[in-house]
Every structure is written in structure tokens, then in C-alpha cells.
Amino acid sequence: MKLWDKGYSTDKFVEEFTVGRDRELDLYLAEADVLGNMAHMKMLNSIGLLSDEDRVALEQGLKKIYKQVQAGEFTIEDGVEDVHSQVEFMLTEMCGDAGKRIHTGRSRNDQVMVDIKLFSRSAIIALQKSVEELFSTLMQKAEEYKDILMPGYTHQQVAMPSSFGMWLSAYAEALADDMLMLNAAYKLVNTNPLGSGAGYGSSVPLNRTMTTKLLGFEDLAYNSMYAQMQRGKTERVVLTAIAAIAATVGRLAQDVCLYSCANFGFVKLPDAFTTGSSIMPHKKNPDIFELTRAKCNRMQALPMEVTLIATNLPSGYFRDMQLTKEIYVPAFKEITDVVRMAKAGIEQMWINRDILSNDIYKYLFTVEDVNDAVAKGVPFRDAYREVGMRVQEGTYEHDGRELNHTHEGSIGNLCLDNIRQKFARNIIDFASVMQAEEELMR
């Protein structure tokens, strides 16, 4: 079954080539498609293009399909082109001619666009929850290990004293900033394209404000042409936010791989998070974090993939956009998986509490000695040169005194509560959206 069927058939290979992975990926859009159908159907009834009898029948049918989707029982049958065709086919079987009327005033273009928006909204809700959990774990461990010192590095060389609290809360604050980008992407997602048709509206007197409210969208994508031009743009913007989270998690994974190797020994992963060698019996490889790093690197390329598909396309819809789905839909599972894996690894990681007793880290404290001399009235450049000469001559020794870092963001004042507040400010409030969807399917 094809929504565009006009009584002729296409070549089988041509059909396979054009459909691609749509049937497989459309299963992820099934819940969204039912929601969009429900809102559109209620609107058609309100403007007199569907009878009350048809409305009741279609409402019952859509709720039945919705339950099948939520139970994992929904499938796209052989010979059916996509999720939109499958839902309409099922409604026609259940409701007769009423099922044939539900497409009135709509194009598959705006069906796809609204499905992507609703799918994205739900996927962002799930992603935010996973990021919140990783953030909480990082902050909890930062609090627990805030007084445990470790070396800080610049240029991969021993630099200045740091702490496990500073290291872990640095990535927590990075996630807080990443949430700004996710929040911005969500604002683009949460606008309603339904009723834009094929990009040029409809002669049917649609009530787009009504469907916006029914679906819990914050606003309309007003211009019908622009509503369709959001295809590709929406995916690119959301993937950019996903790429930002991936960059943070990937960099954290690289640190864990580095710090867990024998040359560093700063952290140790539980056996369940490592794999062995087929030839070296002593090996415990951080494969989980290596794969996390690789997956995160790959995800950072996704916005550019979508950009290149859409580059130089004029206004209007093109089948090129179908390929964005293959990039976009799986990205949510991949980013959620790596975030969850990072959380579990950080939660169970052993921390070395006695790193700085090793003499190779004694030069960490040269800046402390320079600052001590400055505090006693020695000009900075003179103090710097004097300590530097002792290092150069091999006579430098550190006296092991306690550190006194007090300014905001230093190892003695990590501002953990401020970081928590920053993250909380950037959290997206989904309450009204979830309420709208519940009311729509009640």
C-alpha cells in the first residue's frame, strides 16, 4: 500500500532503492504518527470535515493502535511503504471510509515532519534524563573525592596540582553547558509543522492553532514553506547538541583510558568493565571506555553528514531528506548508551588516594613556591627565575606543605553548589508537553 498509489506499479529494484531503510526506521516514529493523526482528526471534526460518528470511530481505532505501539506489537506489514501508510491502512480496516478521510488537508511531507518533531521531543526527554543521571554521579563523586589530589597536565606534561573533585566536576559543568545547546535544539523541535501540507498549505480551512495546542507544541512553524524547510535543519540542530554531549563524554572516556593505564594508575576500572588479551594474561583493557570514545567521535561527525545531504538544495521538498532519517534516528540510542555507560563506569571506578607521594610529581608545586615568595614581597619574575634555576640544576625540593587555593573554581573552592544550580537552570521543563500528550490520548 502506498499513499500516493495511482494504479501503476514501479520496478521492484527502484522501489527497494527509494524505500531504503524507511520501514525499519519508521517503527521508531509510530507513536508520534498516531499522536499526529489524533490531533489532525480532532481538528478535521471541529471544522466539519469529519462527522462526530467518524471521530468516535477513528478515536477508538487510534487508541487501539497506540496501545499496540506501546506494547511493542506494532509492525509495518509487507507491501506497506511506511508508518503513515500502515496507520492509515489499519484505520481503514477498522473504521471503513472514515479511515480514508483522515488524510484530508494533509501531505505525507507534513506527516513526516510532525512525526520527526514528536519523536525528537520524546527522545530529548529520555536523553536529558540520562545526562542528568551522569551529571549527578559526577557531582557525587566530586564531592566524595574533592580533597584527593592528583596531577594536572598541560601539553601532556606535569603542570600543577589538581584534585579528583576538580576533574570530575569539570565534566559535570561541561554537561551543564551542553544542556544549553540541547535546550536551544528543543525550542526548534517544539514548533508545529502540521498543516503545512507539501510546503504550500491547503485550501482546506485548517485550524493549525488547535493542533498546536492539542500536541503541546510551544508555537507554530508559521510559514508553510519554512515548516517544510525545517526538514534537515531540525535534524542538524539536534545532532549538533548531541555532538556537544558526545564531545564531553568522549573526552572523559579518553581521560579514563589514560588514567587507568599502568603508567598512570590514577584510577582502576572494575573487572566487569575490562576485557583481557588472547596472549597476555595480565591485561585488563578499558574496552568499554575505548568504544565510548570511538562512538562519541563518530557522533560528532553526524551534523556534517546531514549538512552535506541538504547543502545546495533549493526550497521545496526533495527525497534526499529521507536519508537524514538513517543518520538521525539511531543517534539518540547511541548517545544515550554512551552516557549511561560513562555513568556506570564512573560510579564503580576505584580512585588512587596516594598519587602525589611519587617523586615524579614533585614539580607540581613550583608555582606554589613562586607564589609564596611573591607573598613575601619578591617580584614575580625574580621568584619565577629563582625556582626555575633550582629545577634546572636539579636542586629543587618541595617541602610538602598543605595547599591553600581559595578562589572560586580552585581545588579548595570547587563551587559545586553553583555548578548544580547552573545545570538546573538549563534543564528543559517537559511537564506541559507530557500533559498535552496524555490528554490527547485519554
| CB neighbour burial string for 346-378, b if at least 16 within 10 angstroms, e if fewer | beebebeeebbeeeebebbbbebbbebbeeeee
Q: How far is the C-alpha of 32 from the C-alpha of 327, rounded, in Å?
A: 18
Q: Of residues 218 and 362, which shows the higher confidence score?
A: 218
Kindly report, residue by residue over 37-87, the tens digit of the pLDDT. Answer: 999 999 999 999 999 999 999 999 999 999 999 999 999 998 888 999 999
| pLDDT of 7 over the 70 cut | no
**Beta carbons of 373 and 379 less than 8 angstroms apart:** no
Please report the pLDDT score of residue 105 as a whole number: 94
Residue 102, all three cell numbers: 483522515
CB 193, CB 158: distance < 8 Å: no
Query: Per the structure block, which three cell numbers stand in for 336?
Result: 544515550
207-211: average pLDDT = 97
DSSP character for 141? H
Q: How far apart are CA 337 and CA 246, in angstroms?
A: 11
Half-sphere exposure of 306 (CA within 13 A, CB side): 25
Higher pLDDT, 5 or 384: 384
The answer to whether 234 and 116 have CB atoms below 8 angstroms apart is yes
pLDDT band, very low/low/confident/very high, at 88 (cuts 50, 70, 90): very high
pLDDT at 326: 93
- For residue 392, give Cα distances in angstroms to 12, 161, 368, 385, 441: 76, 20, 17, 10, 74
Could you tell me the pTM of the whole model? Answer: 0.91
Residue 171: per-residue pLDDT: 98
Mean pLDDT of 401-411: 83
238: closest CA among 295, 189, 297? 189
Q: Is the pLDDT of residue 341 over 60?
A: yes
Average pLDDT over residues 401-419: 87
| Percent of the chain scoring above 70 in pLDDT | 94
3-state class (DSSP) for residue 265: coil
Backbone angles phi, psi at 277, to 5 degrees: -100, 150
147 CB burial (10 A radius; 0-12, 13-18, 19+) = exposed
pLDDT band at 4 (very low <50, low <70, confident <90, very high): very low
Task: Place 401 in a pLDDT band, splitting at 50, 70 and 90.
Answer: low
Q: How confident is the model at residue 195 (pLDDT cuts 50, 70, 90)?
A: very high
Report the DSSP beta bridge partners of residue 153.
158
Residue 376's contacts (CB-CB under 8 Å, 6 or more residues apart) are: none
In contact, 12 and 315? CB cutoff 8 Å: no
Return the pLDDT at 271.
Answer: 83
pLDDT of residue 20: 64
pLDDT value at residue 376: 93
Q: Which amino acid is at 273?
A: F
Residue 67 contacts residue 59 (beta carbons within 8 Å): no
Please list, residue by residue across 178-189, b when 16 or more beta carbons sit within 10 angstroms of its beta carbon and e when fewer do.
bbebbbebbebb
Strands 219-220 and 350-351: unpaired
* 174-194 per-position pLDDT tens digit: 999 999 999 999 999 999 999
For residue range 219-252, list pLDDT tens digits in order: 999 999 999 999 999 999 999 999 999 999 999 9
Domains of the chain in sequence order: 12-101 (1.10.275.10), 108-207+218-357+410-440 (1.20.200.10), 359-393 (no CATH)
pLDDT in tens, 301-328: 999 999 999 888 888 888 888 899 999 9
For residue 282, what is its C-alpha cell? 595480565
The residue count for the chain = 442
Residue-level pLDDT at 284: 80
Distances (CA, A) of 141 to 137, 138, 352: 6, 5, 13
Q: Look up cell 556534517; give the residue.
A: 304
Q: Which residues are bridge partners to 9 per DSSP?
A: none
**pLDDT band, residue 18 (cuts 50/70/90):** low
pLDDT of 8 reads: 47
The answer to which of 57-61, 134-138, 267-271, 402-406 has the lowest mean pLDDT is: 402-406
Percent over 90 (pLDDT), the chain:
76
